[in-house]
Amino acid sequence: MTNGSTTDPTTTDPTTTDPTTTDPTTDRTTTGRSTGTAGDRTAGPGPAGPRVGAILPAGDVGTHAGQVKNTVEELIAQTRRAAGAGLSSVWFTQLFDHDAITLAALAGREAPGIEVGTSVVPLHPRHPLLLAAQAQTAQAATGGRFTLGVGLGVRELLEPAYGIPFPPPIRHLREALTVLRQALAGERPRLAGRTLTALPPLPTDVPGGSGVPVLVAAMGPQAVRAAGALADGILPFLAGPRTLSGRIVPAVLRAAREAGRPAPRIAVAVPAVVTDEPEIVRDLAAAHLAPYAAIPSYRRVLDDEGVAHPAELALIGDETTVAAGLRRYFDAGATDVLLLQSGIRSAQDRLRTWHLAGAHT
């Protein structure tokens, strides 16, 4: 699964009944060194404003194990093609195979001028100090073009895979973001929390790696509030225009404002394919997206949007159809639209989709 994958379980966390200012994870003060924000940073080579990026792998058959000799080389080559098509950014998924942060660092060095990021790295079971070290290293490697996208993950996937109990989700999100903010700001975190401890005896900053923005795959009310207060933006997936404009965007803007933070970046992941075979592609999308309908956090946003199946949110058709869909997401408050599964039928469809997207960036 992508956005991927494993994001935003929005079940109520009994440990977070009232996130008051006595909790260090709701600290509204800013750190001494910026972690980067939508308000002070232009993503990619283009001007500030609506941006379109791509999430990789894009569904191409050639990226699967056994279909290419080297997945890393293939995805770096696709990053170059995305940059050549005019996309503002490329984001890498994290499942159980390739390492997304490493890929982003390598791709960013090979394709100068395009923003690279992760969409998304599950926080469980990774420690935020390790994530901060990786993120700063990627930031230094790419000359300041890396964005760290994180998510809570899906308990049903991660807990049996790693054999490590899944923590209370919202409490863990707040504590992990607190540590990430401090470490990415060049500080030495001091947190003994309920879900993690971060007491490094040595410095955590990486020269050349400052200014890493952090986005959160947040869709549920508590996760959106935490992201608005403690991160630089959100990475919702399968949240349609109605849900964005009616609930998610106002909530994250309000949380950021109340925390004294700049307006957040809202990078929305959307399945999109420009194709001459829309019915074939829609059937493929329906098969690939079907598992999300059974995951509670996604089921809730699908119900909010009034759709039965995730494929109903996919933008599939000719250039005019897909361009109109992109406009609906920007009108709903997205600062970025990140296209995924654009190569689900063919590399030709993927490149055609990317060239359309490049014209809107």
The mean per-residue pLDDT over the stretch 139-165 comes to 91
Residue 65 reports pLDDT greater than 70: no
- Closest alpha carbon to 185 in 209, 215, 202: 209
- Provide the pairing of β-strand 191-192 with 197-198: antiparallel
The mean per-residue pLDDT over the stretch 104-120 comes to 96
* pLDDT confidence of residue 3: 57
* pLDDT confidence of residue 223: 97
- CB within 8 A of 70, min separation 6: which ones? none
Comparing 11-20, 156-165, 227-236, the range with the smallest average pLDDT is 11-20
* pLDDT confidence of residue 335: 98
**Helices and strands: H and E segment counts in the chain:** 12, 12
Tens digit of each residue's pLDDT (9 = 90 or more) over 174-221: 999 999 999 999 999 999 999 999 999 999 999 999 999 999 999 999
Residue 243 reports pLDDT greater than 70: yes
Tens digit of each residue's pLDDT (9 = 90 or more) over 286-323: 999 999 999 998 999 999 999 999 999 999 999 999 99
* pLDDT confidence of residue 66: 61
The mean per-residue pLDDT over the stretch 344-351 comes to 96
The mean per-residue pLDDT over the stretch 337-345 comes to 97
The mean per-residue pLDDT over the stretch 164-173 comes to 93
Q: Which amino acid is at 117?
A: G
Q: What mean pLDDT is reported for the chain?
A: 87
- Closest alpha carbon to 322 in 273, 289, 361: 273
* pLDDT confidence of residue 69: 86
The mean per-residue pLDDT over the stretch 250-267 comes to 98
- Closest alpha carbon to 102 in 137, 130, 55, 151: 137
pLDDT confidence bin for 269, thresholds 50/70/90: very high
pLDDT confidence bin for 39, thresholds 50/70/90: very low
The mean per-residue pLDDT over the stretch 78-102 comes to 96
The mean per-residue pLDDT over the stretch 258-286 comes to 98
Contact of 297 with 220, CB cutoff 8 Å:
yes
